[in-house]
Structure 1
Amino acid sequence: MRSYLARVDAVLVQAVIAAALSFAHLHDLASAAGQDGWKAWAYPVSVDLLMVAAWHRLRSGQEKSAAWCWFLVALAASLGANVATAGLLDLNDVPDWLRILVAGWPALAFLGGTLLAHTAREESGTRQPAGHSAPLKPAAEPPASEPEPAPVVPAPVAEPAPLPAPEPEPATEREPAPAAPPVPAALVAHARKVADDHQTRTGSPIDADTLRTRLGVPAPMADQLTAQLA
Structure 2
Amino acid sequence: MARSIRLDAVLIQAAIAGALSFAHLHDLAAAAGQSGWKAWAYPISVDLLLVAVWRRLRTDGPSRLAWSWFLVALVASLGANIATAGLLDLDHVPAWLRILVAGWPALAFLGGTLLAHTTTPPGHVADPAPVPPAPPAPVVEEDPEAAPALEAETVPELPAADPAPVPAPAPAAVPVPAALVDHARKVAADHQARTGARIDTDTLRARLGVPPHLADAIAAQLA
Q: Which residue of 1 aligns with 2:130?
A: 139
Equivalent residues, number:
144
Where do 5+ consecutive residues of structure 1 fail to align? 129-133, 157-230
- 1:95 matches 2:94: yes
Larger relative contact order, structure 1 or 2 (CA cutoff 8 Å, min sep 6): 2
Matches within 5 A, 1:75-224: 75-119=74-118, 121-123=119-121, 126=122, 137=128, 139-142=130-133, 145=136
Q: Deviations over 1:68-99 (max 9, x none)?
A: 22212211111111121222222222111110
Q: Deviations over 1:102-155 (max 9, x none)?
A: 011112212222222233x344xx369xxxxx696351434755876968x8x9
- 1:70 matches 2:69: yes
Could you tell me how far apart the structure 1 residues matched to 2:129 and 2:75 are? Answer: 51
Alpha-carbon deviation of 1:23?
Answer: 0.6
After superposition, the CA RMSD in angstroms is: 3.4
- 1:28 matches 2:27: yes
Could you tell me how far apart the structure 1 residues matched to 2:110 and 2:22 are? Answer: 21
TM-score by length of 1: 0.50
Q: Which residue of 1 aligns with 2:216?
A: none
Q: Which residue of 2 aligns with 1:13?
A: 12
TM-score by length of 2: 0.52
Q: Deviations over 1:35-75 (max 9, x none)?
A: 12222111111111222333444455331x33222212211
Could you tell me how far apart the structure 1 residues matched to 2:129 and 2:88 are? Answer: 67
The percentage of counterpart residues that share the same residue type is 66
Could you tell me how far apart the structure 2 residues matched to 1:69 and 1:54 are? Answer: 9
